[in-house]
Chain A
Amino acid sequence: MIEKYRAPLAFLVMALLLIIVGFGQSWSVALGIINLCIISAIMALGVNLQWGYAGLFNAGVMGFTALGGLTAVLISHQPIYEAWSSAGSGILLSGFILISSVLGIYFVHKKIEKILLKRILIISIIGITLFGLNIFYGPSISIIESINPAKTGFLGGLGLPIIVSWLVAAFVAGFVAWIIGKITLGLRSDYLAIATLGISEIVIAVLKHEDWLSRGVKNVTGLDRPVPYEIELQETTWFIDLIASINASKLQAVQILSDRQDILNKLVIDGSSIFVKLCYAGLFILVLLIIYFLSHLALQSPWGRMLRAIRDNEDAASAMGKNIVSKHLQVFVIGSAIIGIAGAMLTTLDGQFTPGSYQPLRFTFIIWVMVIVGGSGNNLGSIFGGFFIWFMWIEAEPLSIAFISLLTNGLDYNSPVRMHLIASAPHLRLFIMGSILLLALRFMPQGVIPEKVSKE
């Protein structure tokens, strides 16, 4: 009986927690948390697809998130025509050389039988490629990076609306996942973990150091927005009227006209920030619902049932004639594509792309905690995990500072021990995350909302 109410109960508790933040701190903070909760939930859905449905350990969530972020920049930023006209051809040529050499190596690897000839050919292709890149790539990037380095210094993007990038990000992340999957999925399961861990570090390294592509650690700021700006809202009449009509009674109570105007101004400023966050939340919830709905359908379909069969018994599924590696590749690509979408959404929400801020603990392993705690294999569980763990991640910091302050109450205010403990308190949230993960694995291995096994 209780099983049936687990999911509604879990979400009710979550809603209550958010409402407490809304009243206790502010609605703007609560909405800020909710927006990131939704993005986390989407990432958790992607990981759940890979881990919960198919049992694949993807330790490179951060890399796919960052790829999504890069896509957002490349789609939405205005193109830098000057850079394109002076060095675009060099970059395109380098790209052409790289792609053709990869194809060449692939061709040689597949078609040439003689080992010695094969090795000589591969080594010479690599040599020619390095030589070609040395001629075209190096000079081009230094030209691009020298054009107005303080403001641009990169190629820019396509200048399309940023929402487009959410879709494109799925393809970019999916394509990279396809390459990794091709290499590692046939091998033992833990190699996938190591390989994805590696690829995510490499993606971040590329984004940090290839300034012509992503401006590197100089960051790209002021990205296009799918929702109105606060400043514009504060000057639009309909919005001011809206705020005034919502707070009509409050404004009526104020007698002096100038005071009333001041209060209205303040309300409009607060309201604009909340309105913008609500717009984001609306968009994000739409994406979340679409992805949830599709994942749910996929899980119910023969495809989803087959994946679970493979997960639970590879040998039996293989004996039934299922190609395990190719199914794993499919689910790995789709899951990574979803993570890519979430990455693009995250960059959209931030309005900036900062390669230096991608940390594996924050972007890979926290997502794992979400999936495990929420309930592997259950999409609702992953959404709940995304909300709950993100909420804890945000609120753990003030909580641990409060806890440490309480603990060190007896100490002298300026004692070095107290100072050190207070300064280190924010690191406790990693401790809290680790404890939640270990406790969940030990006492609730199925998660808060366990996987439903349909028996038909």
Chain B
Amino acid sequence: MENFEILNALILLANFVIVPAISYGSQLAIAALGITIVYAVLRFSNFAHGDLMSFGTMTAILFTWLFQSLGITGGVLPTALIALPFAIVVTALLCLLIDKSVYRFYRKQKSHAVVFMIVSVGVMFILNATVRFIIGPNDRTFFDGEKFLIRALDFKASTGLEEGLTIKSTQLITVIVAIITMLLLFYFLQKTKMGKAMRAYSNNEDLALLSGINPDRVVMITWIIVGALATIAGVLYGLDKSFKPFTYFQLLLPMFAAAIVGGIGNPIGAVVGGYIIAFSEIMLTYAYKKFFIYLLPEHLEPSGLTQFLSTDYKFAISFIILVIVLIIRPTGVFRGKTI
């Protein structure tokens, strides 16, 4: 009997904390990777990244609708996964277009990083307007296919435990896609010639130019990667929750927090930072009352919700972690600045 209590408590924790945090963390990690790569190679904080994600997601939704109307679906998998590569192409092209028409000018002028940041605010406005113009500011769900991998009721029936474990298929998809994306990215950065060129360029621009690295190509590849990462992160987040342009703008804070906490400019740091932010956000806003009821003897059971912070303040958590890291270790967990 005693053991079941502990098992129940663990399942409860897994259901409400661990599984959601892993999937949210993966989404944040991919998003923070985009921010960190822009920072490492192009050397500015890209305020437009949230809206780039929402543009990518919007494109994926439009392709999803197109495929659905043509009768193509993913079966048990969401159709959005088929739409994803097409959306990546469109978003990457958009990134290249923006770079050619906007950022290139300031790069040639060797403008200060703050100027780039303000320019990215302008780009943010335009992307935001475009998304709202095309698809509207409202909430949209574009998920189809099989919704659950494990249902709470089935889980309870098969294990005989009191607590159920639910795993949504989007959570598994998020984790799998995120792992594939990260492996591909790290393989690219570490093993391929272009990836090495990018790292060299990010480490020391002048030295890279002297070694015959073509800066335009590096920048081009960077934007393609950033477009792809933004689209993947956005689609995964949108599949798991829902798509709303303003939410994507608000993700900017946790994304930047993840990148900075890990060490901005460092891809591994961005991944670790994503999970740190996601886990702390969910762990600190979860009400542990039931968890303690399982574990503690009756007279010690808590009367309140035993929640550190109300869920309304989840932004505050990424901010507080950011501030703590900035005070204790300004360079982030992994020393940042180069890839």
Cβ A208 vs Cβ B118 within 8 A: no
Cβ A191 vs Cβ B124 within 8 A: no
Chain A residues with CB below 8 A from B128, complex form: 361, 430, 434
Instruction: Considering the complex, give the chain A residue whose CB is closest to the CB of B105.
Output: A442
Q: Given the complex of chains A and B, what is the CA–CA distance between A360 and B121 in angstroms?
A: 11
Q: Given the complex of chains A and B, what is the CA–CA distance between A208 and B318 in angstroms?
A: 18
Tell which of A38-46, A181-189, A219-227, A251-259 binds the partner.
A181-189
- Chain B 144-173 interface residues, beta-carbon cutoff 8 Å to A: none
Chain A residues with CB below 8 A from B102, complex form: 438, 442
- Chain A 371-398 interface residues, beta-carbon cutoff 8 Å to B: 372
- Chain B 112-133 interface residues, beta-carbon cutoff 8 Å to A: 113-115, 117-119, 121-126, 128-130, 132-133
Pairs of residues from A and B, 7 with the lowest C-beta to C-beta distance, nearest first? A434-B125, A431-B129, A430-B129, A434-B126, A198-B319, A437-B122, A427-B132
Number of interface residues of B (CB under 8 A): 46
**Contact status of A438 and B117, CB under 8 A, knowing A187-B330, A427-B129:** no
Tell which of B77-85, B250-258, B292-300 binds the partner.
B250-258
B1 at the interface (CB under 8 A from A): no
A74 to chain B, nearest CB (A): 20
B133 to chain A, nearest CB (A): 5
Cβ B313 vs Cβ A202 within 8 A: yes
Cβ A205 vs Cβ B123 within 8 A: no
A411 to chain B, nearest CB (A): 17
Chain A residues with CB below 8 A from B141, complex form: none
**Contact status of A195 and B323, CB under 8 A, knowing A189-B113, A202-B316, A424-B136:** yes
Instruction: Considering the complex, give the chain B residue whose CB is closest to the CB of A433.
Output: B125
Q: Given the complex of chains A and B, what is the CA–CA distance between A205 and B330 in angstroms?
A: 26
Pick the contact of B326 from A191, A365, A438 — CB < 8 Å? A191
Cβ B137 vs Cβ A193 within 8 A: no
Cβ A441 vs Cβ B115 within 8 A: yes
Chain B residues with CB below 8 A from A437, complex form: 118, 121-122, 125
Pick the contact of A198 from B105, B122, B125, B322 — CB < 8 Å? B322
Tell which of B196-204, B206-214, B221-229, B304-312 binds the partner.
B304-312
Q: List 8 A-B contacts (CB under 8 A).
A: A194-B322, A197-B252, A361-B249, A427-B137, A434-B125, A434-B126, A434-B128, A438-B102
Q: Given the complex of chains A and B, what is the CA–CA distance between A191 and B319 in angstroms?
A: 12
A353 at the interface (CB under 8 A from B): no
- Chain A 164-211 interface residues, beta-carbon cutoff 8 Å to B: 183-184, 187-191, 193-195, 197-199, 201-202, 205-206, 208-209
Q: Given the complex of chains A and B, what is the CA–CA distance between A184 and B326 in angstroms?
A: 8
A447 at the interface (CB under 8 A from B): no
Chain B residues with CB below 8 A from A13, complex form: none
Chain B residues with CB below 8 A from A433, complex form: 125
Number of interface residues of A (CB under 8 A): 44
Q: Given the complex of chains A and B, what is the CA–CA distance between A146 and B199 in angstroms?
A: 59
Q: Given the complex of chains A and B, what is the CA–CA distance between A90 and B327 in angstroms?
A: 32
Other than the given A193-B47, A193-B117, A437-B118, 11 more pairs (CB < 8 A) read: A189-B114, A195-B326, A198-B257, A198-B315, A202-B315, A205-B313, A209-B313, A435-B122, A437-B122, A438-B122, A441-B118
Chain B residues with CB below 8 A from A441, complex form: 115, 118-119, 122
Q: Given the complex of chains A and B, what is the CA–CA distance between A55 and B253 in angstroms?
A: 22
Chain A residues with CB below 8 A from B304, complex form: 134, 138
A355 to chain B, nearest CB (A): 12
Q: Interface majority SS on A: helix, strand, loop or mixed?
A: helix
Cβ A430 vs Cβ B315 within 8 A: no
B260 at the interface (CB under 8 A from A): yes
Cβ A190 vs Cβ B308 within 8 A: no
B46 to chain A, nearest CB (A): 10
A368 at the interface (CB under 8 A from B): yes
Instruction: Considering the complex, give the chain A residue whose CB is closest to the CB of B249.
Output: A360
B58 to chain A, nearest CB (A): 13
Cβ A194 vs Cβ B129 within 8 A: no
Instruction: Considering the complex, give the chain B residue whose CB is closest to the CB of A208.
Output: B312
B45 at the interface (CB under 8 A from A): yes
A57 at the interface (CB under 8 A from B): yes
A428 at the interface (CB under 8 A from B): yes
Cβ B313 vs Cβ A183 within 8 A: no
Chain B residues with CB below 8 A from A206, complex form: 313
Instruction: Considering the complex, give the chain A residue whose CB is closest to the CB of B309.
Output: A130
- Chain B 47-95 interface residues, beta-carbon cutoff 8 Å to A: 47
A320 to chain B, nearest CB (A): 21
Pick the contact of B126 from A59, A138, A431 — CB < 8 Å? A431
A404 to chain B, nearest CB (A): 10
Cβ A130 vs Cβ B114 within 8 A: no
Pick the contact of A438 from B119, B129, B323 — CB < 8 Å? B119
Pick the contact of A368 from B121, B123, B312, B318 — CB < 8 Å? B121
Chain B residues with CB below 8 A from A130, complex form: 308
Chain A residues with CB below 8 A from B308, complex form: 130
Cβ B323 vs Cβ A57 within 8 A: no
Pick the contact of A434 from B123, B310, B322 — CB < 8 Å? B123
Cβ B312 vs Cβ A205 within 8 A: yes
Chain A residues with CB below 8 A from B256, complex form: 194, 197
Q: Given the complex of chains A and B, what is the CA–CA distance between A434 and B119 in angstroms?
A: 9
Q: Given the complex of chains A and B, what is the CA–CA distance between A205 and B249 in angstroms?
A: 15
Chain A residues with CB below 8 A from B123, complex form: 434, 438
B105 to chain A, nearest CB (A): 6
Cβ A205 vs Cβ B316 within 8 A: yes
Chain B residues with CB below 8 A from A191, complex form: 260, 326, 330
